[in-house]
Chains A and B, each alone.
Chain A
Amino acid sequence: MHLISLFRLRVYLALLLVLALSPVPGFAQVERIIYGLSFEPSGFDPHRNASSELGIPLRQVYDTLVYRDPLSGEFVPGLAQSWEISADGLQYTFYLRQGVTFHDGTVFNAAAVAANLDRVTSPDTASQKAIFLLGSFAGYEVIDEYTIRVLLSTPFSALLDSFSQVYLGIASPTALANVSVDRYQFNQVGSGPFEFVEYVPGDRIVIRRFPGYSWGPQFYVSDSSDWISEIEFRFFADASSRAFVLEAGDAQIVGELLPIDARALISEPGITLEQVPIPGQPLQFLMNTTRFPTGSLEVRQALLFGTQREAIVDAVFQRFSPVAWGPISAATMFYSPVVQGSYGYDIDQSRALLEQAGFVDADANGYYDAEGGNLTVKVIVPPWGLIPQVAQLMQDQWRSIGIRAELESVPTRAAVFEAVSTGDYNLVAWYEFGADPVFLGNYFASTGTLNWTGYADSMLDSLLSQAASTNDFTLRAALYAQIQQIIMAQALVLPIRDYVNVVGQDSSIGNLTFDYFGWFPLLPNAAFVVD
C-alpha cells in the first residue's frame, strides 16, 4: 500500500517536471530555421564525398563557375562571367568575375580555381565523385589573373554541367591550405550566399547568411528584409519521423516525406508541400538481356505491357509522381516525349507476345511453362525508395500475364552489386540522378561499367559516345531522342515513376524553390512570409 502511494508521488513529480519543461507559448519568430535532411551523408566535403544530401547545405556555401537556370536548365554565369569552348571541344576557357571574395576575405581569381582543381584531382583527396565529373580532364592553364583554361584529352560534353554542380564548388584556397584534407570538412570556406558555421558529426551542420554577398547568379534574389539568417540542418533518417518533426515544429523544412504521410499533411494547416521533380533516371528496373527469359525481346515487352504503372503510382506513391515512360525522367535535359505513352497497360498484347515467343500453359495452372516449371523472372529488390512495395505490386500484376516473379531482397547498395555480379537475375531496380543524361553511357554502352542489361549494340554505342562528346545542343537533343527510342524499342528498362521529392515546409517560409538538379534548395531566396 505504501509502495503504491510512493509510486503515485513519483508519477506526480514526473508530471510536474514535464509541465515545468513545457515551452512558453507565443514564442517569437526566429530567423534561424531547422532543415531536416534525410540521412547523414558519409562525409561533408564536396570535393571528396558523393552524397546528394551534402549539397543541400553546401550549395548555399559555395558558388560554382556556372549555374543552370532553375527553370530552363540553360547555363548562366556564376563565378565565370563568360566562357568559350574550342571547336575541338578540348579547351574550356573561363573568364572569371572580379570583385568576389571568399568568406575568409581571400580574393577569388584564377589561382583559386586552379587550387580547387588541384585538390579535386589530388590522390590525397581520394575524390569519390568530383574528379569523375571532370571527365577526361588533362590539366589547366592560368592565362591571367581572371582567366583560366581547362584542358581535356577527349571531348566531354557534360563538363559545363559538372562545373555547375556543388561537388566542383570553389573553396577558398587559403582555407584549403590551412587544414589537412580530412579536417577541411569542419572548416569549409566558400564564396556563396551563406557561410559555413559548424559541422557536428551525428548531430548537425549550421550555415549563416554572409552579409557581403552580391555576386550570385541572376536567379538569386539580391535582398530581402525577411530573409532567413541562419539554418541548422539535422538528420532524420527514419522516414516516418519526418512528418512528425514537421508537425511538431522540430523542423521547418523536411524533404523526402513518405507519400502516405504527405497525403495526410495536405490538409494540415500551417504546412505546405512542394513536389520537386528530380532529373535523372526514373525508378526503373533494368532487364537482363543475357539470361532466360528476359533475353527474349518479346518477354521484355510483355513485362512492360503487363505492368500497370498507374496503379503502382496511385497505391505506392499516392499520385505524388508522374508515370515514367523512358530511361530518363521528364525533368531531365534532352528528355524525348516520343517515349511517352509507349507500352501502356495491355494484358492481351502482353499474352500475345509471350505466345508469339512460343510459351504455352500446358498444365493450365495460370503460368506459362518453362523448363522445370513456370515461366519465372528473378527480380533484385533493394530496400530504398519504396521499391519493395513496387515489386510486390508488379509480382501481383504479372500473375495475370502468366509470369511468376521471384523477388530477391537485398539489404544494401553493395549487395545489389554482388547480386548483379553473379549474372543470376532478370530484373534489377536501380536509378541515379543527374541533369545531363550523359550517365546513360554507363548503363547502355556495351562497355559501360553499369551495363546490367548486358545489351551490346555498336549503333547504340556510337550514338552514346557522340552524344557525350559533341557540344552542339541541337545535335545532342537529336542523339538522345534516338537513344531513348532505341532503349525503349529494345525494352531494356521497365520505368515506373519519375522521381519526385515531396518536401514539407512550415507555411511561414515563402519562396522555397529548388535548382535544376532538384535536390538543392535555393535557400538565399527563401524568406519568412510577413502577414
Chain B
Amino acid sequence: MIWVSVTISFFALRVVPYDAITAQLMEVGVSSEVIEVRRSALGLDLPLVLQYLHYLGGLVQGDLGVSLLNGLPVAELIVFNVYPTLELALSSLLIGCVLGVPLGMWGIAKRWDGVVGDRRLNVWLPYALPLRNFVIALILSVPGYWLGTILIWVFALELDWLPASGAGGLERLLLPAIVLGIGVAGGVATMSVVLVGDVLRQEYVRVAYGKGLSARSVTSKHVLRMILPGVVAHLNTQAVFLLGGTVITESVFSRSGLGRLLLDAAVRQDFPVVQGVVVWSSCMVLLANVVTTVMQTILDPRIRS
C-alpha cells in the first residue's frame, strides 16, 4: 500500500512542469543553461523512471531524500514537525471521543424512562432527540477555520487566558485541539447514534430493562460496551486524516506541523518533501489500522471469545 501511494505521488507531482529549484532560479532571472546545470546536479534531468527507481532504492534503505531548496534530509524535517502534529491529532481524538460518545447517547435514558413509565420526564421526551440531532448537525457544519478564529478572539484576545498561536505546552494545544476535537465529535456522535439505535433494538437490552435495571446501568453496562468497537472503527478514519497533518488548523494557530510542512513544500514544488510526508502518512494509516484492530479485539466481547 505504501508502494502504491509513493508511486502515485511520485508521478503525480512530476506532472507539473517546474521543480522547486527551477522555479526559484527562474524567479531570480537566471538563464536556462545555468538552470539545466543545477537540475542535473540534483539528478532532476534523468529520465523519470530512473529517478523513480533511485527514489525507491533510497526508500527501502530508509532514505527519504533531501529537500531541493535547503539540502536538509526530509526525514529530519519530518522529525522536527511530527510532534506538534501527533499531540494535536491524539488530543483532538480524545476530545472527540469524550464529547461525541455522550452526545450520541444523549436521550436514550430518557427514551426508556419514558417508555417504562417515568411520567415526569415525558415533558422533555419529544425535544431530547431533535435537540441532540440539532447539536450534532451544528458541530458537523461549523468550519474549523471559523471556530478557530472565534476561539482565538474569545480566549486569547478578550479573556487573555490562552496564547493565540504556536506549538508547545498544554496552553498552546488546548484551543486547536478543541477546534479539531469538536469536528471529530460530530462524526463520533453521528456514528454513536446509528450504533445505539441498533443496540437498543436488541433483545438483551429489553431484557435488561425488563429485569428492572436502571437506565444508567443499562446505558453504561450494555449499550456503551456494544457501541465502542464501532466508535473505534470510526476514530480510525478520523485519525488517518489527522495524522497526516491538519493544514487549516495549523495555519490559523500558526503551529508547526506536518500539514504546514506539506503545504509549503507543495506550493514550492519541493517534491522530495511532499513525497516524504506522503510516505509518513501512509505508514500512519497502517499503524492506525493495526491499533484499531487490536482495540476492537480488546473491546468486542464477540471477537475476544
Contacts and interface: CB of A to CB of B under 8 A. Distances in A.
Nearest to A246: B164
Contacts of A248: 152, 156-157, 160, 163-165
A448 interface: yes
Interface stretch (A37-45, A101-109, A111-119, A215-223): A37-45
Majority secondary structure of chain B interface residues (helix, strand, loop or mixed): helix
B256 interface: yes
Contacts of B62: none
Contact of B251 (A123, A203, A241, A450): A241
A202 interface: yes
Contacts of B109: 1-3
Nearest to A235: B254
B71 A182 contact: yes
Q: Tell which of B18, B31, B67, B174 has the most Cβ of chain A within 10 Å.
A: B18
Contacts of B28: 50, 128-129, 132
Given A200-B80, A248-B152, A449-B29, 8 more contacts: A1-B110, A49-B70, A237-B260, A241-B152, A244-B149, A244-B152, A248-B163, A414-B22
A473 interface: no
29 contacts: A1-B109, A1-B110, A1-B215, A2-B109, A3-B105, A4-B106, A23-B160, A42-B24, A42-B69, A42-B270, A45-B70, A123-B41, A128-B24, A132-B29, A202-B80, A203-B80, A234-B254, A235-B256, A237-B264, A241-B152, A241-B251, A244-B152, A245-B254, A247-B157, A412-B267, A413-B23, A414-B23, A417-B17, A442-B29
B162 A236 contact: no
Contacts of B160: 22-23, 248-249
A363 interface: no
Contacts of B3: none
Contact of B264 (A4, A19, A42, A200): A42
Interface in A239-256: 240-241, 244-245, 247-251
A250 B157 CA distance: 10
A418 interface: yes
A30 interface: no
Given A123-B41, A201-B72, A250-B163, A21 B26 contact: no
A40 B264 contact: yes
Given A39-B264, A132-B29, A439-B29, A126 B41 contact: yes
A519 to B, nearest CB: 16
A399 interface: no
Contacts of A182: 66, 70-72
A202 B29 contact: no
Of B21, B69, B71, B102, most A-chain CB atoms within 10 Å = B71
B269 interface: yes
A414 B18 contact: yes
A264 interface: no
Contacts of A411: 267
Kindly list the 9 A-B residue pairs having the minimum CB-CB distance in the complex, ordered from nearest.
Answer: A43-B70, A202-B256, A42-B69, A442-B29, A182-B71, A414-B23, A248-B164, A414-B18, A248-B156
Contact of A202 (B27, B69, B165, B260): B260
A249 B69 CA distance: 33
A244 B29 contact: no
A2 B224 CA distance: 14
A3, A241, A249, A411, most chain B CB atoms within 10 A: A3
Interface in B42-70: 66-67, 69-70
A23 B161 CA distance: 7
A527 interface: no
The listed residue with most B CB atoms (<10 A of its CB), out of A7, A39, A202, is: A202
Contacts of B260: 40, 202, 237
Interface centre among A21, A248, A450 (most CB of B within 10 A): A248
Interface string B236-263: 0000000000000001111011001100
Contacts of A43: 67, 69-72
Given A2-B216, A23-B160, A40-B264, A50 B29 contact: no
Contacts of B98: 10
Contact of B27 (A4, A22, A235, A432): A432
Contact of B254 (A237, A442, A450): A237
A181 B66 CA distance: 13
B292 interface: no
Given A241-B164, A412-B269, A450 B69 contact: no
Contacts of B166: 203, 234, 250
Given A200-B80, A241-B254, A3 B219 contact: yes
B269 A245 contact: no
Contact of A6 (B81, B102, B268): B102
Contacts of A412: 23, 267-269
A247 B155 CA distance: 12
Contacts of A421: 17
B160 to A, nearest CB: 7
B80 A201 contact: yes
Contacts of B267: 411-412
B36 interface: no
B106 A21 contact: no
A42 B27 contact: no
A38 to B, nearest CB: 11
Interface in A220-238: 234-238
A48 interface: yes
A18 interface: yes
Contact of B26 (A49, A235, A244, A417): A417
Contact of B17 (A39, A44, A185, A418): A418
Contacts of B110: 1
B72 A202 contact: no
Contact of B257 (A6, A7, A202, A450): A202
Interface in A386-400: none
B165 A236 contact: yes
B170 interface: yes
B106 A3 contact: yes
Given A42-B270, A43-B70, A250-B164, A418 B18 contact: yes
Contact of A21 (B38, B170, B253): B170
Contacts of B163: 248, 250
B161 A18 contact: yes
Contacts of B70: 42-45, 48-49, 182, 185
Given A3-B106, A4-B106, A128-B25, A449 B30 contact: yes
A10 B99 CA distance: 10
Contacts of A126: 21, 38, 41, 71
Nearest to A25: B160
B153 interface: yes
B140 interface: no
A3 B157 CA distance: 33
Nearest to A441: B29
Nearest to A185: B70
A459 to B, nearest CB: 22
B167 interface: yes
